[in-house]
Amino acid sequence: MISVRDVLVQVGGRVILDIPLLKFEEGRRYGLIGENGSGKTTLLRVLAGTLLPTQGQVTRQNPNSLGYMPQAPYAFSFSVLRNVEMALENTPERRDNAVRALEAVGMRNFLAARGNKLSGGEAQRMAVARMIARPRKLLLLDEPTSSTDIRGTDSIENTLLDYARNSGCTLIFSTHSPAQALRLAQEVIFLHQGKILEKGPALEVLENPQTESARLFLQHWRI
Amino acid sequence: MKKLCVVLIMGVLILSLTACATKIENPVIRLSTTTSVNDSGLMAYLQPVFEKDTGYTLEITSAGTGAAIEKGRTGDADVLLVHAKASEEEFINEGFGEVRVPFMYNFFVIVGPEGDPAGVNGSATAAEAFKKIAEAGATFISRGDDSGTHKAELKIWKSLELDPTGQPWYVSVGDSMGKTLTVGNEMQGYVFTDKATFLAHENTLSLLLEETDDMKNTYSMIAITSQRYADTNYAGAQAFIEWMTSEKAADLIAKYGIEEYGEQLFFILAAK
Amino acid sequence: MAKTMDVIREIFGLLFGQDPELRQIIGVTLRMSTLSALVSALVGIPLGVILGSTEFKAKRFVNRILHTLMGLPPVVAGLIVFLFLSRSGPLGTLKLLFTVTAMVIAQIVLITPIMTGLTANIVSVKAPLIHETAAGIGLRPFQRMLYIIYECRVQFVSTLLTGFGRAIAEVGAVQMVGGNVQFKTRVMTTAIMMQTNMGHFEFAIALGIVLLVIAFLINSLVSRIQESAGLA
């Protein structure tokens, strides 16, 4: 339900992303893995629409039902509750929905805290709450647990799994951790220097990488 | 090669310095005059001739009369050229100047909008003209800077026992004659000014009243005493005064303005 | 020595006494500076927000022009406004020359680019992050702009104060287009210049002290705000 075709992203002559064809199916969960600078963030930004590719097109079925969480999500200077409410329409249920989302990520005690006083991990949990506070058809998350501790990571992963299963939304996330990819994704895509080198069911790609670069990337990881 | 150049340059410099130093002890004369005199262009006209004739260099500073005279008190001038008799006499009495040498005069004039709404033209005296302006509430721009011109203007208001300060039609700018005329031109109001500056200034105001008795303006030179400050150039001041009162200077001053404006701007005081 | 005591006594007398002209001059100055700062902020800050948070083709060109305007010498601004407002100029019929309005106009010309530049700098640091997060949540461009402004509100206040400080200290342009007319367009800076030219140092010093105190207060406020914003 979202796809890219002939997408090329060039910055100052350097090719950062080069994807001839990539299709995502509705309701499935995809994990993007690869080295730093391999193009994961760029791909997510192109999918989200915050970066226009130098060439190529992105086709979205439900552009208004998209949620994108960048790598270092911004926490506004008002309360955490407000930070989540701002993602919702002003309806009588808004507060309850926001509170429920924050509870899901384990931030019940932070409702009144100022957004700009949160730690990195707390800000990320809050950003996830923003994403799930209302029904969305597509969630794009750029390293959603990069700053969280084990409990926070657990909390976020469980929340995302529940949400994806219950709402049937498509989930596309990037991660540094192959283990997380295995836990969370149904399909794994391996990016290297802006190109897709591997794509397939999570277990297969992670256990049996076909390309040399993927093998190198995964060599220190065992199931 | 480089060393030779340096030596040559040094040699030329030293030679030129010594050559200059032989003629006059202190070749720089600091003349403090008023903005009116400066704005009239007279000094720019006389300076090159004076410097060529005497070999002195004239450093001219201009300010409002008060500040110009003050330079004599603080030792920042060697000779004054101003036109405020009372202040000048006070200055001499305080012992800052040796002697006061009045040497030329001209008249203040009243200029204003072409239509002359207050009917200034044809008045017998400046006082009469001022009275008409006050009664009509016509815009009048004053220098307001304690200068000789300003003091002369205030004297006339005083003779009428009128204080225009704060009146809505009285615009006090606190600045030079040139600036005051600019404001006068913008507002198309009446201005009390010296004729030379008026003619030298670009504006669309008309000359409405001139050469009444109460508008005569006398210019004097004062050499600053050598007793107060060690570096006062008394000899230079004397040379300046001597040259300015010479026949040649008298001739030049009398000629000033005729070519450009068709009339003489400064008149030489007959020697006593 | 006695003369110095007299001078000091006179200055204090002016500062704490009821000299109406001194107070009137201060009043005109504050009125003019407040108006200049406010209008410049109303125009400059939104422009700065747009400049700092959006990408567009001519951006480099616009930035270059902005930097030129930021470095505009006050007397040149004064000259341009003077030529426009004088009798022989295009706007001469408005009869604005030598009024407080003319001074405010000249100051707006000078201060707005500064406000725009400062704001663009502040915003360009925060804007990309806010933009990405806000767009990711699904906020519309107008809403994103509002949130950017809200998040930078503290620095906007200090920018406004900086503009005020600049306005109050300006002398070249306001002298040219204001004319330093007694009771009408005489402000602290032009009065100090005039009184010094006339040799009335006591009045000039008294005014200078008031100006220094105000400038000091503004700068302290700005520092205080910057610090608290840094910690925020």
What integer pLDDT is reported at residue C54 of this predicted model? 83
pLDDT reading at B19 higher than 70:
no
Q: Best of B62, B163, B171, B202 to disrupt the C interface by mutation (most C CBs within 10 Å)?
A: B171
Determine whether the interchain pair C197/B67 forms a contact, defined as Cβ–Cβ distance below 8 Å. yes
Q: Best of C133, C143, C146, C154 to disrupt the A interface by mutation (most A CBs within 10 Å)?
A: C133
pLDDT reading at B21 higher than 50:
no
Is some CB atom of chain C closer than 8 A to the CB atom of A44? no
- Select from A64, A66, A74 the Cβ nearest to the Cβ of C133: A74
Q: What gap in Å lies between CA C91 and CA C97, rounded to an integer?
A: 10
Lookup: tokens for B261 = 């404006």
Q: What gap in Å lies between CA A64 and CA A178, rounded to an integer?
A: 31
What integer pLDDT is reported at residue B271 of this predicted model? 62
In this prediction, residues B175-189 reach a mean pLDDT of: 91
pLDDT band at C230 (very low <50, low <70, confident <90, very high): low
Q: Residue C180 sits in which domain range? A: 2-231
Give how far A68 is from chain C: nearest CA, Å.
4
Q: Are A37 and A78 in contact (CB under 8 A)?
A: no
Is some CB atom of chain C closer than 8 A to the CB atom of A137? no
Q: What gap in Å lies between CA A188 and CA A29, rounded to an integer?
A: 9
Give how far A54 is from chain C: nearest CA, Å.
15
What integer pLDDT is reported at residue A140 of this predicted model? 96
pLDDT reading at B18 higher than 60:
no
Give how far C135 is from chain A: nearest CA, Å.
7
Is some CB atom of chain C closer than 8 A to the CB atom of A70? yes
> Contacts of residue A140 in chain C, CB cutoff 8 Å?
136
What integer pLDDT is reported at residue A17 of this predicted model? 93
pLDDT reading at C170 higher than 90:
yes
For tokens 């503290």, what's the residue? C154
Q: Best of B173, B176, B205 to disrupt the C interface by mutation (most C CBs within 10 Å)?
A: B173
Is some CB atom of chain C closer than 8 A to the CB atom of A87? yes
Q: What gap in Å lies between CA C132 and CA C167, rounded to an integer?
A: 37
Cα dist from C104 to B217, C24, C101, C109, C177, whole Å: 39, 17, 5, 9, 9
A59-72 b/e (C-beta count within 10 Å ≥ 16 → b): ebeeeeebbbbbbb
Determine whether the interchain pair C87/B173 forms a contact, defined as Cβ–Cβ distance below 8 Å. no
pLDDT reading at C199 higher than 90:
no
Instruction: Express each pLDDT in C13-23 by its tens digit.
Output: 888 877 888 88
Determine whether the interchain pair C198/B67 forms a contact, defined as Cβ–Cβ distance below 8 Å. yes
Determine whether the interchain pair B175/C180 forms a contact, defined as Cβ–Cβ distance below 8 Å. yes
Positive or negative, the CA dihedral B174, B179, B184, B187 is: negative
Q: Are A139 and A131 in contact (CB under 8 A)?
A: yes
pLDDT band at B22 (very low <50, low <70, confident <90, very high): very low
Determine whether the interchain pair C136/A86 forms a contact, defined as Cβ–Cβ distance below 8 Å. no
pLDDT band at B3 (very low <50, low <70, confident <90, very high): confident
- Residue A64 belongs to what H/E stretch? none
Which chains form contacts with chain A, at 3 or more CB pairs under 8 Å? C
Cα B224–chain centre separation: 17
Determine whether the interchain pair B187/C197 forms a contact, defined as Cβ–Cβ distance below 8 Å. no
What integer pLDDT is reported at residue C2 of this predicted model? 60
Say what the ipTM of the complex is: 0.88
Is some CB atom of chain C closer than 8 A to the CB atom of B185? yes
Q: From B85, B50, B41, B80, select the one nearest B178 (Cα to Cα).
A: B41
Q: Best of C24, C85, C96, C182 to disrupt the B interface by mutation (most B CBs within 10 Å)?
A: C182
- Select from A45, A70, A77 the Cβ nearest to the Cβ of C133: A70
For tokens 């657990």, what's the residue? A154
- Select from B63, B70, B186 the Cβ nearest to the Cβ of C97: B186
Give how far A113 is from chain C: nearest CA, Å.
13
Residues 106-145 of B with CB under 8 A from C: 144-145
Cα dist from B34 to A222, C197, C219, whole Å: 95, 12, 40
Sequence-separated (6 or more) residues with CB below 8 Å from residue B203: B181, B182, B184, B185
Question: What percent of chain B has pLDDT above 90?
Answer: 47
In this prediction, residues C37-51 reach a mean pLDDT of: 92
- Select from B144, B146, B185 the Cβ nearest to the Cβ of C182: B144
HSE value, Cβ hemisphere, 13 Å, CA-based, for A4: 24
Determine whether the interchain pair C98/B187 forms a contact, defined as Cβ–Cβ distance below 8 Å. yes
Cα nearest neighbour of B63 on chain C = C197
Q: Which residues of chain A have pLDDT under 50?
A: none
Cα dist from B137 to A37, A71, A144, B133, whole Å: 80, 74, 79, 6
Instruction: Express each pLDDT in B116-157 by its tens digit.
Output: 999 999 899 999 999 999 999 999 999 998 888 898 899 999
Most confidently predicted of B72-86, B205-219, C66-80: C66-80
- Select from B70, B146, B173 the Cβ nearest to the Cβ of C181: B173
- Provide the number of structural domains found in chain C: 1
In this prediction, residues B209-233 reach a mean pLDDT of: 87
Domains parsed from chain A with CATH numbers: 2-73+136-218 (3.40.50.300)
Instruction: Express each pLDDT in B53-106 by its tens digit.
Output: 999 999 999 887 888 888 888 888 999 999 888 888 889 989 898 889 999 988
Q: Residue type at B77?
A: A
Cα nearest neighbour of C201 on chain B = B67
Determine whether the interchain pair A76/C232 forms a contact, defined as Cβ–Cβ distance below 8 Å. no
What integer pLDDT is reported at residue B17 of this predicted model? 60
Task: Give strand ranges (E) for C100-216.
Answer: none
Is A189 in a helix, a strand, or coil?
strand
For A79-88, A101-110, B8-17, C37-46, which range has the lowest pLDDT when averaged over its residues?
B8-17
> Contacts of residue C180 in chain B, CB cutoff 8 Å?
173-175
Is some CB atom of chain C closer than 8 A to the CB atom of A61? no
> Contacts of residue C183 in chain B, CB cutoff 8 Å?
166, 172
Domains parsed from chain B with CATH numbers: 26-105+218-268 (3.40.190.10), 107-215 (3.40.190.10)
> Based on C-alpha coordinates, what's the Rg of chain A?
17
Supply the CATH number for residue C94's domain. Answer: 1.10.3720.10
What is this structure's pTM? 0.72
Q: Best of C28, C97, C181, C190 to disrupt the B interface by mutation (most B CBs within 10 Å)?
A: C181
